[in-house]
């Protein structure tokens, strides 16, 4: 069993060695001769690659396989079956990537017989290697408390049954605060008042967290921060992620972070790795393709809408607003103008979902049609294309409205963990900002479940909803 950097080195070198050996072995002349009589569908018997071609093929396969296996190079404690299934999943992903190269005019692409044989070899031996070096889930965990809130640190210590060997906390937490003092007894009129924390060792500040996790072979970090939207908290999560350490919070704080599930009792495990980097890549590719195709296909319609807006009322075709982006940033969103100019001069900011179908004197005749059919949202495809938004995600609100919604949903900022979207789980369920708490539940549920296919389902449901609205509008017009 390897831990820390030893596991990283062993997993990378083992994967690279097994992959290179597989390609070399299967292309060895004697092996090729043994398979020369085997018919391959759509291909003649495999030919022996030249030395230069073989080296290039090996390098190509190494790059693809190492990229696909990257999540497994993190030193996570895993069970045998989980390790085998995850490794095999990554091998299939790598082979699909290599097969895709065959559709291009790539001089040294992997021959189909070699691809099949390499896949079979790696499906057998890579899981065996990963199982051999994996970190075993320990029944006797070694835990530390990490945080800056003395009261919360004491509370989490009271709830855990794990063997806690000490705590890591910023220097400011060592000083008297008028509350419980970490590492020092609180003095009252009756004398010194000791707590359970006083029995623990002070292992240092947050800057030493890396060193502490390695030196004491820590399995679990119990987090007790006063605020979970600060750099210190996210830095601690990142350090735990890098070292394969389980991070846990008190159940009372579970709504403030993304949690993977209840670990038992009053402690909840934090989801340190909710998405693989490949999922980010697939999502971004989908976003770009959706936005680019949408803008291209809808270009004639864009020109028609722009002309109708100019003919209907004076003013610009587009209007822009600031919206809240990922992690609370600000970006500019563009929409087709559906109101008279300076419509909010007297009313101020209103929710983006307000009055979409109601009679509002500020809404123009063309604007009313655009709102009912959601065509006013089309320019937001540009925001998706440049990376400010995603196709699917929590709908972005204006900063001043976000501030007011926080009073109706205490954990409103949780929805900032991902890029805002053109549509989302709340939208397809007809939930708007008028009910911030319900909207927040849908948004956080999306963050927990998001995947490529989940995004596709939401997009299909949204498109169906838009088409239904258009048909209903046409029927209404005919009836009148």
Fold annotation for 143-270 = Rossmann fold (3.40.50)
pLDDT top residue among 316 and 256: 316
What pLDDT score does 154 carry?
84
Return the pLDDT at 13. 93
pLDDT band at 184 (very low <50, low <70, confident <90, very high): very low
Residue 80 corresponds to which tokens in the numbers above?
A: 């045998």
Q: Quick check: 249 pLDDT over 90? A: no
More reliable by pLDDT, 254 or 66:
66
Handedness of CA 458, 459, 464, 468 (dihedral sign): positive
- Is the confidence at residue 451, as pLDDT, over 50? yes
Is the pLDDT assigned to residue 134 strictly greater than 90?
no
Q: Is the pLDDT assigned to residue 46 strictly greater than 60? A: no
Residues 305-329: what's their mean pLDDT? 84
Give the residue-averaged pLDDT of 163-180: 66
Would you mind telling me the total number of residues written for the chain in this entry? 480
pLDDT at 50: 65
- For residue 214, pLDDT beyond 70: yes
Which span out of 104-108, 172-176, 350-354 was modeled with the highest average pLDDT?
104-108
pLDDT at 430 over 70: yes
Distance, in Å, from the CA atom of 269 to the CA atom of 261, rounded to the nearest integer, reads 6
pLDDT digits (tens, 9 = 90+) for 15-30: 999 999 988 887 776 6
Looking at residue 136, what is its pLDDT?
Answer: 64
Residue, of 200 and 413, whose pLDDT is higher:
200
Query: What is the CA angle 271-171-258, rounded to 5?
Result: 10
Per-range mean pLDDT, top range of 103-107, 347-351, 448-452: 448-452
Say which residue, 56 or 182, is predicted with more confidence.
Answer: 56
Question: Which of 51-55, 303-307, 317-321, 439-443 reaches the highest mean pLDDT?
Answer: 303-307
* Sign of torsion over alpha carbons 280, 286, 287, 292: positive
Tokens (6 digits) for 116: 């099949």
Residues 269-307 pLDDT 10s: 666 655 555 667 788 889 999 999 999 999 999 999 999
* End-to-end CA separation in angstroms for the chain: 76
- Write down the domain spans for the chain: 4-133, 143-270, 277-479
204 contacts 167 by C-beta, under 8 angstroms: no
Report d(CA 450, CA 280) in Å as an integer: 11
Bigger pLDDT: 43 or 14?
14
**What mean pLDDT is predicted for residues 210-220?**
83
For residue 364, give the DSSP letter: -
Select the more confidently predicted residue: 305 or 237.
305
12-40 CB burial, b ≥16 within 10 A, e <16: eebbbebbbebbeebbeeeebeeeeeeee
Structure tokens at 7: 């596991």
Q: How many Cβ atoms are within 10 Å of 369's Cβ, its own excluded?
A: 19
pLDDT above 70 as % of the chain: 70
Which pLDDT does position 380 carry in this prediction? Answer: 93
C-alpha to C-alpha distances, 25 to 20, 22, 161, 168, 300, nearest whole angstrom: 8, 5, 51, 50, 57
What lies within 8 Å, CB to CB, of 252 at 6+ separation is 266
Decide which of 414 and 342 is more confident. Answer: 342
Residue range 233-246: mean pLDDT, rounded = 78
Task: Give the residue-averaged pLDDT of 246-266.
Answer: 61
Q: Can you give the pLDDT at residue 392?
A: 92
255 or 248, higher pLDDT: 248
Q: Which residues of 192-226 are buried (b: 16+ CB within 10 A; e: fewer)?
A: eeebebbebebbeebeebeebbeeeebbbbbbbbe
Mean pLDDT of 120-132: 91
User: Mean pLDDT throughout 310-338?
Assistant: 84
| Poorest-pLDDT segment among 45-59, 358-372, 444-458 | 45-59
Q: What does the pLDDT read at residue 99?
A: 80
pLDDT, average across residues 319-328 = 78
- How high is the pLDDT of residue 29? 66
């Amino acid at each position: 069993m390897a831990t820390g950097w030893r596991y990283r080195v062993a997993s990378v070198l083992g994967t690279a060695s097994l992959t290179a050996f597989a390609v070399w072995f299967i292309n060895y002349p004697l092996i090729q001769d043994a398979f020369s009589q085997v018919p391959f569908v759509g291909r003649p018997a495999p030919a022996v690659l030249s030395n230069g071609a073989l080296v290039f093929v090996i390098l190509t396969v190494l790059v693809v396989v190492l990229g696909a296996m990257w999540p497994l190079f993190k030193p996570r404690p895993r069970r045998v079956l989980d390790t085998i299934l995850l490794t095999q999943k990554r091998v299939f992903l790598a082979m699909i990537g290599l097969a895709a190269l065959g559709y291009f005019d790539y001089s040294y692409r992997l021959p189909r017989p070699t691809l099949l044989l390499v896949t079979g070899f790696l499906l057998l031996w890579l899981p065996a290697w990963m199982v051999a070096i994996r970190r075993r889930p320990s029944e006797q965990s070694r835990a530390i408390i990490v945080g800056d809130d003395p009261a919360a640190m004491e509370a989490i210590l009271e709830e855990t049954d794990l063997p806690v060997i000490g705590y890591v906390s910023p220097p400011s937490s060592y000083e008297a605060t008028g509350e419980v003092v970490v590492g020092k007894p609180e003095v009252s009129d009756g004398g010194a008042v000791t707590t359970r924390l006083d029995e623990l060792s002070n292992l240092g500040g947050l800057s030493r967290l890396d060193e502490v996790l390695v030196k004491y072979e820590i399995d679990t970090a119990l987090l007790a921060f006063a605020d979970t939207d600060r750099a210190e908290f996210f830095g601690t999560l990142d350090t735990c992620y890098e070292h394969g350490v389980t991070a846990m919070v008190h159940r009372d704080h579970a709504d403030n972070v993304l949690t993977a599930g209840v670990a038992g009792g009053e402690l909840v495990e934090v989801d340190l790795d909710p998405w693989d980097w490949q999922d980010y890549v697939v999502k971004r590719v989908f976003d770009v393709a959706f936005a680019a195709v949408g803008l291209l296909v809808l270009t004639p319609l864009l020109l028609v809408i722009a002309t109708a807006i100019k003919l209907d009322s004076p003013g610009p075709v587009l209007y822009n607003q600031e919206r809240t982006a990922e992690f609370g940033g600000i970006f500019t969103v563009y929409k087709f103008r559906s109101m008279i100019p300076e419509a909010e001069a007297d009313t101020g900011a209103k929710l983006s979902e307000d009055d979409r179908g109601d009679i509002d004197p500020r809404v123009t005749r063309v604007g009313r049609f655009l709102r009912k059919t959601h065509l006013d949202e089309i320019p937001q495809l540009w925001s998706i294309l440049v990376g400010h938004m995603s196709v699917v995600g929590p709908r972005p609100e204006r900063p001043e409205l976000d501030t007011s919604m926080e009073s109706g949903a205490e954990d409103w900022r949780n929805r900032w963990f991902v890029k805002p979207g053109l549509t989302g789980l709340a939208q397809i369920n007809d939930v708007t900002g008028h009910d911030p708490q319900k909207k927040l539940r849908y948004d956080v549920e999306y963050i927990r479940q998001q995947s490529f296919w989940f995004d596709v389902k939401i997009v299909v449901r949204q498109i169906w909803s838009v088409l239904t609205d258009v048909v209903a509008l046409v029927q209404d017009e005919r009836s009148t």
